[in-house]
Each structure stands twice: as structure tokens, then as C-alpha cells.
Structure 1
Amino acid sequence: MAWLSILSGLVLLTVGAEALIRGATGLARRLGLSELLIGLTLVGFGTSTPELVSSIEAALSGAPGIAVGNVVGSNIANILLILGLSAFISPIAVEPKSFRRDMPALVAATLVVIVVILTGSVGRYAGAAFLAAIGAYIIYAYRTERRAPLQPEAVRHEAEAAQTPSASAPAKALLLTVFGLALLIAGAKLLVTGSIEVALSLGVSDAVIGLTIVAIGTSLPELVTSVAAAARGKSDLALGNVVGSNLYNLLGILGATALVQPIAVPSEIIRTDIWILLLATAAMALFAWTRGKVERWEGALFTAAYIAYLGWIGVSA
């Protein structure tokens, strides 16, 4: 039953996120917001809603390991698994202007979050600061992309927003938004409840479940999308997607979760996983900076590293 609960939760999270994005985007268009702003905010946050509601539900359910492990594990999976597989299928070119703006922001956010995690907890003040930081980043990104409208990153954000159909009427958009939110809440409850049961039955900590099952599960939509794009020879957006997703996870998801419910960080995450996240982020920045692309062999190295990471978790659990 626990595994069925997890699978059902993942399905509801995926469907709910899609409905929420469509409904919220429809409402935003009715309010006259630009496609670029919609892409940077609603689409960006919308794709991270499975991680958001899962982490908040876990924190409220007294499972801080799942709450923090979901964020840390999702970011590790985004770099090593999603970016790794995408680059292995098709090398990823780096867009210089976006790289110079977004990668330093991600590295700085990773370092700041690690410093906070090393204190043993993420409190409401830290959560509020993280949310303020992601808000400032969105404003900065929006302004820079408005000044360079032909920049590939701006085109990507507008394309993401444009690909999300608007609702035919405000009432329909609102209904779709509420429906999506309801599915997300129900899916998160099923996922977290099932994950706690699996952790208890296997005799492992909730941090291990958060770093693996929950992290991979909530990242499945991005994984499928990125791998499919790479298979069609359109992997160039994968790096920007991973960098943006990781920023949202660290500052937006962890920030919102801590603001709702302060989080005690499990010691195993402090001992090992945050350092793996730091190494993965540094390796991504280094690979992208040298030669201006993420090569196929680097993607293979990332993928192998993720398999080894999962193996290590399995052995040490």
C-alpha cells in the first residue's frame, strides 16, 4: 500500500502541476502580464510545485529529512542525472550571457544555503531571506532580459509561457488553478505518507527516502522533458533549465517551507549530501565554463556519478 500511495501521489503531483500552470497562466494573461514575466514566475515556479508542496507537507508531518532531502536530492538529480543524461545523448552548448548571470547566482545560493544548513536548522528568518533573494533574482532577470529581448534565454522564457495554453474564460482559469492546487495537496500527502511508511518498513531514515524516492519522483517531469528534447537534438535548453530549477528549489522551495514550518536538518544530510551537492554544482559550472559546452563524456561522468551516489546511499542506509 505504501508504494501504491507513493505512485498515486506522484501522478497527482504531475497532473496537478500541469493544471496549476495552465490555470495560473490563463489568469495572468487575463491580467495583461507579459509572456516573459509569466515564463520567469508562473512557469518557473509551477514546474517546481511538486517539490514545494511535498517539502511543506513533509515539514508539517514531522519529517524534516524528506523536506530537506527533497530539495538537496532534487538538485543533485537535476545536475548529475538530468543534465548528465541530456549531455550524454546530445552535447549541450552554453549561452554565454545567461551563464554569466545565472551560474554565479546558483553557486552563491548553494553556498549560502549550505552555511545555513550547517547551523542544524533552517528557520523562518532564513526562509524569508531566501524568498526575498529569489524575488530579487526574478526582478533582475526580468530587467536584463527585457533589455536584450533577442537573447536566447528571454526567447526560452517567452516560449515556455506561450506553450502553456490560456483558459478560454477567467472562471475556467480559476477553476483549473484551484483544481491543480487541490491535486498537488492530495498528491503531496499521499507521497509523504507513503514515503514515511516505506522508511519505517525498510528501517531507513526519512532523509534517505527524501534524497532518493521523493527527490527523483518530483523531478521525473523535468527528466522526461529534458531527455526527450535531447533525443530530438534540442538539448541546448537543458543547462538553463537545471540552473533555474535548482535556484527555485534552494531559495523558493526551501525558503517557503521554512517560512511555513522551521526545519531541523538531519545530521546525515549535513555530513555528506550537501557536500555532494556543492561538488556537483562546482563541476557543472566548471564543465560549462571550459570550452563553452557540456560534452558527451562529461554527461556520462555525471550519470555514472549519480549511479554511484545512489549505490552509496543504498549501502550506507
Structure 2
Amino acid sequence: MDWLFVAGGLVVLTIGAELLIRGSTALARKFGVSDLLIGLTLVGFGTSTPELVSSVQAGLMGSPGVAVGNVVGSNIANILLILGLSVAIAPFAVDIKSFGRDGAVVLIATLAAIGVSMTGEFSRPAGFAFLAAILAYILYAFLTERRHPESPKAVEHAAAGAEAPKGPKSPALDIAFAVAGLLLLILGAKHLVTGAISIAGALGVSETIIGLTIVAIGTSLPELVTSVMAALRGKSALALGNVVGSNIYNIFGILGLTAVIRPVDAPAEIVAFDNWVMLGATLLMIHFVTTRSRLDRLEGAVMTLCYAGYVAWLVFNA
């Protein structure tokens, strides 16, 4: 039954995220909001809503291992699994100038998360600081793109946002889509977190391990589907922007909002090990991108194998 809760929760989360993105982007277009801003905000944050509602729900239920593990595990999976698979499917060249800003921001966000976690708690003041950082990032990214419209999209998930499927034609239906999506997200997150906590108890493993694996991979499904589909369509470069943007949102947006709503402890095992895996994955991505300005199948295979090794380590040391 617990596995059904998790599976059902993941399905509902995925459907909810899709409805929320469709409804909100269509509504924003009707009010004249640019595709760029839609991509930077509604779509960028929309694909991270499963992580958001799951982490907030876990925080409210007093399960910091799931709340923090979900974000850290998702960021690791985004780089090593999702980007790795996308590159393995279709290698692509990278515009270093385009990657520079967002690559630096994702590294800063990763270091900030590690620094705060070493204090033992994601406190409310830290949460407000993270939220201020994500707002500053969105504003800076938007102003940069507006100032240099001829340059390639530095925030490639914004470009993905411009290609997001349009929602229904009626504003009332747009609102209904968005509200229904939000409600499904909340419902799906509740079932997912409840099932994950029960599974952890039944298997005799920590909630943190479940958060780092089952919950993290499950809530990353929107990014996985978006990136793999982009690769199959010959647009693998979008996967890089999708991953980088999602990781920035996960740390500054999700951990920030979770901490503001209810401060959460930083699990000792994440502070001691998984944080450094997240940092290593981030540095590996930056190294691969900046050394040759291209991501090939070899790099994709290395990242995917690294993720398999990481999950194997978690399982054998559970």
C-alpha cells in the first residue's frame, strides 16, 4: 500500500505540474507577459513545483530528512542522471558565454546550501536570504536578456518556456487548469511523503535515504521528461539550461520557502556526505562544459555511471 501511495503521488504530482504550467503560462500570455519572463518564472519554477510541495509538506510533517534530502538528491540526479542521459542521447556544443552567468550562480547556490547546512539548520533568516537571492537572480537574468536580445539565451530553460504547450483559450479555463494543477500537486505531495516515510520505517532505513533516492528521482520527473524529450528532438542544449535553472530554483527557492514556512534541521548524513556529492557533481558539470565547450557521449556516460555508483553506495550503506 505504501508503494501505491508513492506511485500514485508521483503520478498526481506530474499531472499537477503539467496543468499548472499550461494554465499559468497561457494566462500570462493573455496578459502580455513575455515568453522570457514566463520561462524564468512560471515554467522555471513550475517544473520544480513537485520538489517544492514535497519538501514543504515534509517540513510541516517534521521529516527534515525528506525535506532536505529531496532537494539535495534532486540536484544530484538533475546533473548526473538527467543531464548525463540527455548528453548520451544527443551530444551538443555549449556557448560558454551563455553558460557563464548561470553556471556561476548554480555553484554559488550549492556552496550557500552547504554553508547553511553546516550550521545544523535551515533557519528562517537563511530562508529569507535564499528567497531574496532567487528574486535577485530572476531580475538580473531578465534584465541581462532584455539588454542583449541578440545573444543566445543564457537561461535556456527560458527558451524551453517559450515552447511550452499552450493551455485552453478561455481565461476561466486557464485559471481552472492552474488551480487544479496546484491542488493536485498538494494532494500528490501528501501521498508521496506519507508513503515515503512509511516505506523508510518498513525497510528500516532512514527517511534521508528515501528522500535522496525515491522522492528525489520521483519529483525530478518533469525535468527528466523535458530534458530527454528535448534530446530526442535534437535540442539537447535545452537540457543544460533546464538542469542549471532547476538546481538554482531548488536551493534558493525550495529550501528558502521551506525554511521560511518551517525551519528544518540539516540531517547529519547529508552534511557529511551528500552535500559534497552535490558539489562534486556541480563542479564536474562545469568542468565538462568549460574545458571543451562541448558535451559528448563520453561525458554523458561518465555522469550516468557516477549516479549509478552514488545510488549503489546509498543502498549498500543504508
Which category describes the TM-score, using the shorter chain as reference length?
A: over 0.9
- Matched to 1:272, the amino acid is F
Where does residue 69 of structure 1 map in the other structure? Answer: 69
Where does residue 14 of structure 2 map in the other structure? Answer: 14
Where does residue 49 of structure 1 map in the other structure? Answer: 49
1:146 aligns with 2:146: yes
- CA 1:168/1:232 → structure 2, altered by over 3 Å: closer, same or farther? closer
- CA 1:275/1:159 → structure 2, altered by over 3 Å: closer, same or farther? closer
Q: Note the alpha carbon deviations across 1:150-192, whole angstroms, 9 max, x for none.
A: 3331695255234331432222111111111110000000000
Q: Distance in 2 between matches of 1:98 and 1:218?
A: 27
Where does residue 230 of structure 1 map in the other structure? Answer: 231
Once the two structures are TM-superposed, the CA of residue 31 in structure 1 deviates from its matched residue by: 2.5
1:271 aligns with 2:272: yes
Q: Note the alpha carbon deviations across 1:181-208, whole angstroms, 9 max, x for none.
A: 1100000000000000100000011100
Once the two structures are TM-superposed, the CA of residue 225 in structure 1 deviates from its matched residue by: 2.6
RMSD: 1.4
TM-score normalised to the size of structure 1?
0.96
Q: Distance in 2 between matches of 1:170 and 1:139?
A: 27
Equivalence map 1:298-309=2 (5 Å): 298-309=299-310
- Matched to 1:141, the amino acid is A
What is the aligned-residue identity percentage? 61
- CA 1:138/1:155 → structure 2, altered by over 3 Å: closer, same or farther? closer
- CA 1:84/1:162 → structure 2, altered by over 3 Å: closer, same or farther? closer
TM-score normalised to the size of structure 2?
0.96
Q: Distance in 2 between matches of 1:6 and 1:190?
A: 6
Equivalence map 1:63-212=2 (5 Å): 63-153=63-153, 156=156, 157-158=158-159, 160-212=161-213
| SS of residue in 1 equivalent to 2:146 | helix
Q: Any conservation in 2 of the 1:149–1:155 contact (CA below 8 Å)?
A: no
Q: Note the alpha carbon deviations across 1:4-35, whole angstroms, 9 max, x for none.
A: 00000001100001111112122222332111
| SS of residue in 1 equivalent to 2:292 | coil
Unpaired stretches in structure 2, ≥5 consecutive residues: none
- CA 1:158/1:277 → structure 2, altered by over 3 Å: closer, same or farther? closer
Once the two structures are TM-superposed, the CA of residue 234 in structure 1 deviates from its matched residue by: 2.2
Q: Note the alpha carbon deviations across 1:198-247, whole angstroms, 9 max, x for none.
A: 00000011100000000000112221332232233321221111111100
Q: Any conservation in 2 of the 1:83–1:238 contact (CA below 8 Å)?
A: yes
Once the two structures are TM-superposed, the CA of residue 132 in structure 1 deviates from its matched residue by: 0.6
Unpaired stretches in structure 1, ≥5 consecutive residues: none
Q: Any conservation in 2 of the 1:90–1:235 contact (CA below 8 Å)?
A: yes
Q: Distance in 2 between matches of 1:133 and 1:308?
A: 33
Q: Any conservation in 1 of the 2:90–2:297 contact (CA below 8 Å)?
A: yes
Q: What is the number of equivalent residue pairs in this alignment?
A: 317
Moved more, 163-172 or 242-251: 163-172
Q: Distance in 1 between matches of 2:139 and 2:3?
A: 41
Q: Distance in 2 between matches of 1:161 and 1:12?
A: 25
Q: Distance in 2 between matches of 1:163 and 1:313?
A: 36
Equivalence map 1:233-272=2 (5 Å): 233-272=234-273
Q: Distance in 2 between matches of 1:124 and 1:98?
A: 33
Moved more, 258-267 or 219-228: 219-228
Q: Any conservation in 2 of the 1:36–1:154 contact (CA below 8 Å)?
A: no
Equivalence map 1:21-36=2 (5 Å): 21-36=21-36
